[in-house]
Structure formats: structure tokens, C-alpha cells
Amino acid sequence: MKHPLRWVTIGVGSLVAVFGIVLSTQMGTSPLFTGGPILDRTAPAFDLPILDADGARVDISSLAGKSVIVNFWNSWCLPCKEETPALKAFWARHANDPDFAMVGIVRDDITSEVRRYVRKEGLEYTIALDPKGRAALAYGTTGQPETFAISPAGVVTGKQLSRVSVNDLEALLGSARAG
Amino acid sequence: MTKLRAWPWIALAVVVIGALFVATRDDGGPTTVNDRVRSIGSELRCPDCQSQSVAISSTASARAVRADIRRRVEAGQSDGEIKRAFVDTYSESFLLKPSGSGLGWIVWGLPVLAFVLGAGGLVLTLRRWRREPRLIATEADEALVAEARNDR
Amino acid sequence: MTAAFGVMAVALGTSASLLGIATLGLGLRRKDPKLLLLGRRYVYALLAAAILAVAVMEWALISHDFSLRYVAENNARGTPLLFTITGLWAALEGSILLWGLVLAGYLAVMVHHFRRRATDPLVAWATIIGLLVALFFFALMLGPANPFRVMSTIPLDGQGPNPLLQNHPLMAFHPPMLYLGYVGFTIPFSFAIAALITGRFGEGWLADTRRSTLVAWGFLTAGIILGAWWSYEVLGWGGFWAWDPVENASLLPWLTGSAFIHSVIVQERRAMLRVWNLSLVVATFSLTILGTFLTRSGVLNSVHAFSESDIGPWLLTFLGIVVATSIGLIAWRADGLRAPGRVDSPISREAAFLGNNLLFAGLAFVVLLGTLYPILAEALRNQQVSVGEPYFDTMGTPIGLTLLFLMAAAPALPWRAASGEVVRHRLSVPAWIGAATMVVAVVLGTRGLAPVVAFGLAGFALANITRTVWVALRARRRAHHEGWFTAGRRVVSGNPRLYGGLIVHTGVVLIAIALASFETFSTRSEVRLERGQSTEVSGYTVTFLGTELDRSAQKVTKSAQLRLERGDDVLGVYAPSISSFPNSSQGIGTPSVRTGITEDVYLTLVSSPSASDRVTIGVAVNAMVLWLWIGGGVMALGTVVALLPVRRRERTDDEPARPPAPPPEQVAAVGEEVPA
């Protein structure tokens, strides 16, 4: 009864071949890190204390009507350190724009370390602390740095999950202004 | 064959089934807040882990998610609502149990199918072997053997 | 300079493989025994080259030679000596180098073991296949996975190994043990292919490779258990198996290998299942290559995939060639492989082994599917999905429990066929003990179908194993009037395979008990403590004494000092910690574990304390974890026993002298079941 065996072998071989081809098409892609489906949704609310501001807080409603860049970061993550100059330059360019706001949200860090970093780098935009990670969770972050753009109407119009350059930030701001 | 003494085996079955019954008596599933947080969390992937669940991971984001689940549990939301809220924020890929719909039949259905086919094949083959007559030497075979022996 | 030596060694190894293949091939074609004898010597040359290459790399690591990129990326001046040495397998290229060394070692042992049969075409072909595999790995090292690549500018200090890899001495043992397992399956694979090519696919190749299969399986088992131990003791998330893709990659060949170990016995006894066994061996070897591919190609994210590289396509191509050739050979020989063997009765040990194979293969299929499904979904529908513990638990637990049942019942099933009555008689006492175990478990608080069934089956299995041994011992003692100890030794050495297997099964039972207990009786909690404050968990009192900071050239470690007490006993001060390494962004947590016979106290530092007066710690009381490791050790012991040579029947005074038994290589000796 050789025929059944031959068919079984051919069948198994084809299955394996299909698997192999599928596997090979997926090489080089990182399947799991494209973040959550937050684009074009209402920006999740947050209400966080500002670093060294005697209890002053920043919340989403106070930013209504402005184009906002929100950057999740902390002081020990390597790409965060690498994107700091870009963030500084971008802030310097737009600091005087009344329709623009920028907030850096820190989570999973030690306050004294954050303070030291902010002082050392001379960061002048709003730095908010998210010690329990609630804002990070609301925005569906999977790590840091992650940067989001929010339109004046309060809709998330852009996001970038890797470190940003000045051009990236300009593009994000553009999407916020347009959206 | 002597008569099967069934009583000891029936008693055994009763004991086993009784123990299983007591063990699986439904007390409503996880009841305390902690239990619910743990059971829901075990099905959600921690946001910055590869495959660990929120329930066991010790990263900051996992703790944040656990705290969020706890708040929702205490607010009275159901398991399904909490999981859906998480998926809304993070997408389906953060559920550790792939859904059964759509492509999910591959991962849930194929193994069952493979088992049914394999077990069925095994049973059928065993039956066939029992039915087929054993190889018995016929007289012609015996003659052949005798001849070969004499030839030596 | 060093790089040149290393590359030269790898090139030597590559050419040795090539020359060996050519010489043996030519010798086979011309049926020239001199060429065959010469060809096998190239295996020894290969081994020498591999040793040289590894020695060069270790020298470079120990002398912190940062002109080599591999050393610069995986070693630093401050790295302690042990982790410098283990840096050989810290990353991809070094791992391939280690694979090459282990493979060369196995091939050398194989060639030496079969030296008297060097002119046998089966052995020659097996050597060729082994050398072909070696050629692939050494060629990889000449090209895409070159461990001796040179830096254009030599840095002053290296990056150091990944912090997770320098946390614990266990790093020294887990990867080499795993590799000894993985690579070991190359030998049975080579013989299987050789059997197909030469047409000698009876039971000879099985007998030839029986030992190497067991050795490889034993090492793989030990490697997996060590990995679980490391996960528990070092990684600090409180568990030991995360269904991580790389963990699954090590489990897959273990599953098919376990199936093979059992079905081989059926083929030896009944000359059947030839195609199935060949397929299992090919599958096991292919899964080891697939595992390497999954680990190193970046296709799946995993805590192990520290670096992506471009050897993915190469591994996949090699895997494709292996699978295609094997399937082609089996299809070609299909006619001759059909055997007239059959299993007589569903109540027989053979039938139990068949069922065991179905279940192992099914479980391997489930694990493979679950691991590859995210890739499939991405490829077919651009969907991103995860498959984690809930899936594997749901699908795997029923299979595991059924396997446990078969394993428990099998020693009572005779070979060939049995009347139901005999089996019922043998199983009645163990069945009652199993039921009693279930009741005790329920009384002690076990809830849930799976744990209770597991406990019951564990009791059933242990009782049956004890019964089997007891019956054999009693018969031996009666026949030979020996003491217990002597009788025990003689019984075991009369059939080491059976008793080694029973010892391995005992280890499995211990692991099953440990798993079921861990699921049922463990507690876990997180608590925030001020300095001096205590908390109580499951009868233990944990008091936070303060934090300590420890700076070294290698890392900065913050630890929380916790005093652990139970009742009036002060059990000690334990210090879970979080370490930060200069070149890595995240802190690595290290748990502090108090191991006890029935339970562990597992302490972790959850948040790195900013103020040293307050910490959040995790306190878990984990039940019976020690028995996981003991069970693993028992499994290793059983494997060693199964490898022991069979004792030839010795004379007793009232028996006439008999001619000596045939040499062990030709006969697959199996002992006889002592009738109940």
C-alpha cells in the first residue's frame, strides 16, 4: 500500500514548505511594537503634578484650543537622552507661540534624578510627573520615548514610538495644526 | 475468564468522582478583588514585556495596569468590560489568548482537528489489526521450510 | 593577530569537513576501505580546529582583547572572570562557535565508537551527514556569523555582557547543557539519513544510536530544567516558565525526542513504526535548527533575542534543505519501509506507547502552532496577536494529564497483549492509592479539576512504579536468596532501560506534584513598608530593616534588607535588590529566595527606593518549588541508569556453563517482564 504513504509524505512536505515560506517573508519585521490604536481618537485626559511647581498641575482641559506635543520620557532611557537636544531645539523654536504647548511626562523614575536631569539639560518646557503610570497607560504607551501630537480640538493626530528629531516634531506639530 | 467483580471498581469511581465534584464545585470563580485582578491580569500582556502577563510582570507599566484593573473592579465593571477597555487602548495583540474568531480557528481548531484525526486513525488501525487474521504457516509453507532444511 | 588565528582555525574546520566529506564520498563510490579509514580522520582534525577556535576566543576574552568586535560587545575590563569565560556564549557568533565545538566533539566520539565499523557504509554515510551539518555551521562562521570580526578602531573598554547574563553563576551551565542536548540529536539524525540512503532501515540504526539519543535527551532535559531554575532564581518575576518563544524552542525537540525514545522500543520489539520513527528523528533535528532560527533571526521577540542578525535566511535555507531532503528520502524509500508489524491489543504496553506518541506529537504541534501563530497572523492578515500562557495552559493541560495517566498505567501493562483481568488486578491497589491521594488533596484544600487530577495520577503512578519494582525485587530475592540491596542492584542491571525509565518517570511525577502544588497552594502579594514595619504573609513575618547601596566597577545595587521570621524563629535577613549597569537603561531586579522543603519564601524589590525609608516589596510563598529541581535531578539520574550496560546473565551453581552472550552492539537486549 504505497500510495497512501506517498500522499501523506507529499502532504506533510507541502505543509512544511508553506510554513517555511511564510516564515521567510516575516524575517526582519518586528511584529509586536507598533503601539495601540490611539490615532484619530480623543486625547485621553490626564491631570498630573508639575515638577517643582509647588503643587501646580497640568491637565488636558487647560490645553484645549492649542496644538500640543506630549512626550513620554524618563531620565534613564538611552533614546530619551538622545532625543533631548531635538526637543530643546524644537521648544526654543516654538516657545513664544500662544497656540502651542509642550508637555514632557515622566514615569517610572526617581524624582531627584528627574530634577537633576532637567537642571543639567536646561529643559524649560512643562515637565509633569506620572509616578503611577496612569497617563502612560491611558495613552497606550509600551515604553519610552513616545511622542504624541494633539490637535486644538483635542484629537490625537500623530504619534511616534521612537526617538524624535526636529523634523519629526515639526511633522507632528503640522498634523496637530491641520487636524 | 472469571466474573468481573465490579463492586470495588464502582466504589473507586464513586470516590474519584466525588473528590472531583468537591474540587470543582463552582464557588463563583475568583471572588476577592485580588483574585479578580490576578485572573484578568493573567490574560493581558504587559505593555513593555514580550510575553509576560500583567499579573506576573514587575515592570512599572504592569503595575500601572494592575492598579487600573483594580480601580475598575472596585467600580463594578465586569471582566469583559475591563478586557475590552484594555484592548481599546492597546489593541488585540495584547491579549494573551488569541480570539477564536477569524484567523483564530487556526490556533484553536487545528490542534483539536489533528487530535481527532490522529486518535481516530489510531483506533481504526488497531481495530484493523485485530480483525486481520494472524499470519499462520500453511502446509505449503511448512513444506518449503522442510525442503530448504534438507537442501542444506 | 588573534583574529587571524581564530579565522584560520575556523577555516581549518571548514576544510576538514569538506575534505572529510569528499574522501568518504569517494571511498563509498569506489568501495575503497582505505579512503574510508582516512576520511574519518578528518573528524579528528575538525575537532582540533574547533578546540583551537574556542581557545583563541577564550584567550581574547580573558585578555580583554577589544580588537575583536565580539569581545568589545560582550566583555569589559570590569567583567568578573567567570562571566568573561561564559561570554563565549553570550551572543550569536560565540553561540555558533560553541555549537561547532560541541558538534565536533560529538562527531569525534561517534567516529571513535564505531571505529571498528569504519568501512561499514552505514557508518560512513552517517559521518558524511554529520560533517555536512558541521560544514554548514563552520561556513556560517566564515561568513555572516564571524566571531572574529575586527574593530576598525579599538575601544579602550568593552560594553560588557548583557546585565541579565552576568547575574548568576548558573549562566555557566544553562547554555552549554542545552547545546549538548540540541547538538546531540545530530547523531541519530545522521544515522537515520544514512539508513535511508543505504536502504538499511531495519532496526540496526536504532541500536547504533540508542545511547546517543538518550544522552542528547538527558542533556536537553537538564538544560531545560536549569533554564527554569534560572528563570525562577535570577529573573525575579516569580515563575519558571513564561512560554517565551525561545523557551518553546527548547521544549519542541524535547517533546518529539521523548516520543522517539518510546516509539523506538516499539520498533525494536515489533519491527513496525519505521516511517514514524524516521520522521520523529528528522523532526527533532529540524526543530533544533528551527529553534536556533527563532532565537537568532529576530522573527519573534523574546527576552533571549538580544541581537538581530542576518543569519536568519541562512538558517531557514539550511532548515529547508534538511526537511526537503529528509522527506524526499522517506518518500523514495516508502515501499521498503512498510513493515508487517502490528500491535495485537489495545491493552498492551505497545498500545500505550502509541498513545504516548500521539499525545507527545500533539503537544509538540500545539506548542509549535502557538509559537508561530503570531507570525502567521501577521503574514496572512496583517493582524498582530499574542499567544501566551492562557493558550498553552488551556490546550496543553489536558494533553499533559492524559500523558501522565498513560505513564502511570504503562508499567502494569504487559507486552503484546493482556487480558483485562490481569491488568485490572495489577492496577487495583495503585488505583485506590491514586483515589486516596485525590481525597487527601481535596481535603488539604486543592480546588480545580486539573490539580486534583494531577495529584491523583501522581499517587497512582508512584504506587504503580513501586509495585513494579517490588514485584521484581521479591522474585529476585526468592530465586537467588539475596539481600535487598544486592537484589536491587542485580534487578536494575538486568534491565537498566526499564528501571532507568521508571526512575525518570518518578522524576516526572515529582515535577507534576510540584507543579500542581505550586498552582494551588502558593500566595503572592505586594506590600509597601516603612522602615521597621512588618507584614505577615502565610505565617511568615517580613520586617523592613533598611536599604543598602553597593557600588562596584560593574554595577550599582540597591537592596532592601528584610528580616524573615516564622513564629518565633528568625530565619535570616534576606536582601532582594535592583542593579543598574552603566551601559543599560533599566534596572535588573534580583530576588532573594529562602528555599524550604515544602515552600519557598520569594522576596522581590518592586520599586527602587528613592527615599530609603519606604519600599514596595513583593512577598510570595511558593509551594513545593524545590521538588521541581529534585524531580529534574531524578530524571537525570534515571537517564544515567538507563545508559548503564546490561549485565550479562551470570552463572549460578546449578546451571551448566553457557556460551557467552553476543556483543551488545548487535542485539537490542531487552529484559523480561517478571510475571505478577
Quote the minimal CA–CA distance from B33 to chain C in Å.
Answer: 13
* DSSP run (H or E) holding C572: strand C569-574
Residue extents of the structural domains in chain A = 1-29, 47-178
Q: Are strands C556-566 and C540-551 parallel, antiparallel or unpaired?
A: antiparallel
Please name the residues in contact with C163: beta carbons below 8 A apart, sequence gap of 6 or more: C555, C579, C581, C584, C588
* A37 vs C224, higher pLDDT: C224
C-alpha closest to that of C296 among C307, C285, C286, C287: C307
Whether residue C398 is predicted with pLDDT greater than 90 in this model: the reply is yes
Report yes or no on B99 lying in a domain. Answer: no
Report yes or no on C292 lying in a domain. Answer: no
Inter-chain residue contact C327 with A30, CB threshold 8 Å: no
The Cα–Cα gap between C253 and C291 comes to: 9
**DSSP labels, C138-198:** HHHHHTTT-TTPBPSS--SS---S-GGGGS-GGGGTHHHHHHHHHHHTHHHHHHHHHHHHH
Residue C663 confidence class, pLDDT cut points 50, 70, 90: very low
Q: Which residue in C334, C375, C580 is closest to A6 by CB distance?
A: C334
How many other CB atoms are found less than 10 A from the CB of residue C81? 9
Quote the minimal CA–CA distance from B87 to chain A in Å.
Answer: 8
Q: What are phi and psi of A149, to 5 degrees?
A: -115, 135
Mean pLDDT (whole number) for A58-65: 87
Domain A47-178 has CATH 3.40.30.10: yes
Please name the residues in contact with C422: beta carbons below 8 A apart, sequence gap of 6 or more: C414, C676
Q: What is the CA radius of gyration of chain A?
A: 23
pLDDT of C184-211, one tens digit each?
Answer: 999 999 999 999 999 887 778 888 888 9
Whether residue C135 is predicted with pLDDT greater than 60 in this model: the reply is yes
Q: Which residue in B16, B92, B119 is closest to C435 by CB distance?
A: B16
Contact with chain C for residue B111, Cβ under 8 A: yes
Residues C13, C156, single domain; the answer is yes
Tell me how far apart the terminal alpha carbons of chain A are, to the nearest angstrom.
Answer: 70
The Cα–Cα gap between C61 and C59 comes to: 5
Nearest CA in chain B to C244: B51
Output the domain CATH number for residue B72. 1.10.8.640
Chain B residues close to A77, C-beta within 8 Å = none
Chain B residues close to A32, C-beta within 8 Å = 50, 93
Q: What are phi and psi of C562, to 5 degrees?
A: -125, 130
pLDDT of residue C270: 82
Q: Can you state the percent helix, strand and coil of chain C, rounding each to 5?
A: 65, 10, 25
Of C134, C161, C188, which residue sits at a domain end? C161
Contact with chain B for residue A134, Cβ under 8 A: yes
Of C126, C161, C196, which residue sits at a domain end? C161
Contact with chain B for residue C458, Cβ under 8 A: no
Nearest CA in chain B to A130: B64
Report yes or no on B90 lying in a domain. Answer: yes
pLDDT of C439-490, one tens digit each?
Answer: 999 999 888 889 999 999 999 999 999 999 999 998 888 888 888 888 888 8
Residues C3, C149, single domain; the answer is yes
Quote the minimal CA–CA distance from B28 to chain A in Å.
Answer: 30
Residues B11, B83, single domain; the answer is yes
The Cα–Cα gap between C243 and B88 comes to: 25
Residues C451, C597, single domain; the answer is no
Cell (9 digits) for C286? 529540524
Residue C529 confidence class, pLDDT cut points 50, 70, 90: confident
Q: Which residue in B22, B52, B96 is closest to C442 by CB distance?
A: B22
* DSSP run (H or E) holding C328: helix C312-332
Whether residue A154 is predicted with pLDDT greater than 70 in this model: the reply is yes
Nearest CA in chain A to C319: A20
Report yes or no on C434 lying in a domain. Answer: yes
Residue C669 confidence class, pLDDT cut points 50, 70, 90: very low
Q: Which residue in B48, B67, B68 is closest to A142 by CB distance?
A: B48
Residues C4, C95, single domain; the answer is yes
Residue A79: exposure state from Cβ atoms within 10 A (0-12, 13-18, ≥19): middle
pLDDT of residue C611: 62
Q: Is C557 helix (H, G, I), strand (E, B) or coil?
A: strand
**Number of domains within chain C:** 3
pLDDT of residue C404: 96
The chains found to touch A (3+ Cβ pairs under 8 angstroms) are B, C
Q: Which residue in B50, B64, B93 is closest to A137 by CB distance?
A: B64
The Cα–Cα gap between A115 and C622 comes to: 40
C-alpha closest to that of C217 among C245, C184, C240, C171: C184
Inter-chain residue contact A24 with C586, CB threshold 8 Å: no
Contact with chain A for residue C330, Cβ under 8 A: yes
Mean pLDDT (whole number) for C480-503: 88
pLDDT of residue C52: 95
Residue C75: exposure state from Cβ atoms within 10 A (0-12, 13-18, ≥19): buried
Residues B120, B61, single domain; the answer is no
The Cα–Cα gap between C273 and C290 comes to: 25
Residues B87, B28, single domain; the answer is yes
CA B52 to chain centre: 20
Tell me how far apart the terminal alpha carbons of chain C are, to the nearest angstrom.
Answer: 70
Cell (9 digits) for C127? 559521518
C-alpha closest to that of C100 among C10, C173, C181, C223: C10
Beta bridge partners of C556: C551, C580
Residues C487, C578, single domain; the answer is no
pLDDT of residue C636: 95
Residues B37, B71, single domain; the answer is yes
Of B94, B113, B136, which residue sits at a domain end? B94
Q: Which residue in C293, C327, C608 is closest to A9 by CB distance?
A: C327
Inter-chain residue contact C237 with B126, CB threshold 8 Å: no
Inter-chain residue contact C236 with B58, CB threshold 8 Å: yes
User: Which residue in this structure is represented by grid cell 552549554?
Assistant: C176
Report yes or no on C152 lying in a domain. Answer: yes
Report yes or no on C255 lying in a domain. Answer: no
Output the pTM of the full model: 0.86
pLDDT of residue C301: 53
pLDDT of residue C503: 96
Chain C residues close to A24, C-beta within 8 Å = 313, 316
User: What range does the domain containing B110 cover?
Assistant: 104-151
Q: Are the beta carbons of C103 and C134 closer than 8 angstroms? A: yes
Q: Which residue in B47, B64, B93 is closest to A132 by CB distance?
A: B64
Residues B115, B136, single domain; the answer is yes
Inter-chain residue contact A137 with B91, CB threshold 8 Å: no
Ramachandran quadrant class, C125 (left: phi over 0; alpha: psi -120 to 50; beta: rest): alpha
Residue type, C363: L
pLDDT of residue C490: 86
pLDDT of A108-140, one tens digit each?
Answer: 777 888 888 899 998 888 999 988 888 988 888
Q: Which residue in A9, A30, A34 is closest to C301 by CB distance?
A: A30
Residues C11, C61, single domain; the answer is yes
Ramachandran quadrant class, C539 (left: phi over 0; alpha: psi -120 to 50; beta: rest): left
Contact with chain A for residue C585, Cβ under 8 A: yes
Of B51, B66, B94, which residue sits at a domain end? B94
Residues B133, B108, single domain; the answer is yes
The Cα–Cα gap between A9 and A32 comes to: 35
CB contacts < 8 A, B to C, total: 154
Inter-chain residue contact B88 with A37, CB threshold 8 Å: yes
pLDDT of residue A4: 65
pLDDT of C631-653, one tens digit each?
Answer: 999 999 999 999 998 877 655 54
Nearest CA in chain A to B87: A36
Contact with chain B for residue C445, Cβ under 8 A: no
Whether residue A163 is predicted with pLDDT greater than 50 in this model: the reply is yes
Inter-chain residue contact B51 with C245, CB threshold 8 Å: yes
Whether residue C351 is predicted with pLDDT greater than 70 in this model: the reply is yes
Please name the residues in contact with B132: beta carbons below 8 A apart, sequence gap of 6 or more: C342
Whether residue C133 is predicted with pLDDT greater than 80 in this model: the reply is yes
Cis peptide before A145 (omega within 30 of 0): yes
Interface subset of A 136-175, CB within 8 angstroms of B: 136-143
Of B49, B73, B94, which residue sits at a domain end? B94
**Number of domains within chain B:** 2
Whether residue C590 is predicted with pLDDT greater than 60 in this model: the reply is yes
C-alpha closest to that of C281 among C301, C305, C261, C310: C261
* C283 vs C155, higher pLDDT: C283
pLDDT of residue B134: 63
Q: What percent of chain A has pLDDT over 70?
A: 88
Residues A125-160: b if buried by 16+ CB within 10 A, e if exposed:
bbbbbbbbbbbbbbbbbbbbbbbbbbbeebebbbbb
The chains found to touch C (3+ Cβ pairs under 8 angstroms) are A, B
pLDDT of residue C401: 96
CA A174 to chain centre: 17
pLDDT of A13-35, one tens digit each?
Answer: 777 777 777 766 665 554 444 55
Residues C416, C560, single domain; the answer is no
Contact with chain A for residue C301, Cβ under 8 A: yes
Nearest CA in chain A to C374: A31
Q: Is C556 helix (H, G, I), strand (E, B) or coil?
A: strand
Inter-chain residue contact A32 with C337, CB threshold 8 Å: no
Which of A8, A75, A141, A156 to mutate to probe the B interface, most B CBs <10 Å?
A: A141
Contact with chain A for residue C556, Cβ under 8 A: no
- Calculated CA dihedral for residues B61, B63, B69, B72, nearest 10 degrees: -100
Q: Which residue in A31, A133, A138 is closest to B60 by CB distance?
A: A133
Nearest CA in chain A to B49: A142
Cell (9 digits) for C676? 505478577
Chain A residues close to B91, C-beta within 8 Å = 35-37, 140
The Cα–Cα gap between C30 and C638 comes to: 45
How many other CB atoms are found less than 10 A from the CB of residue B110? 14
User: What range does the domain containing C442 cover?
Assistant: 411-518+638-642
Residues C22, C146, single domain; the answer is yes
Chain C residues close to A9, C-beta within 8 Å = 327, 330-331, 334
Residues C93, C145, single domain; the answer is yes
pLDDT in 10s for each residue of chain B, 152 residues: 455 677 888 888 898 898 888 888 766 566 777 778 888 888 888 887 767 788 877 777 888 898 889 889 888 888 888 888 888 888 777 888 887 777 788 888 889 998 998 899 888 888 877 776 666 667 777 888 888 887 75
Distances (CA, A) of C346 to B123, C277, C311: 9, 20, 47
pLDDT of C48-102, one tens digit each?
Answer: 999 999 999 999 999 998 899 999 888 888 888 888 888 898 888 888 999 999 9
Q: How many CA atoms lie within 13 A of C383 on its CB side?
A: 19
Residues B20, B81, single domain; the answer is yes
The Cα–Cα gap between A145 and C464 comes to: 59
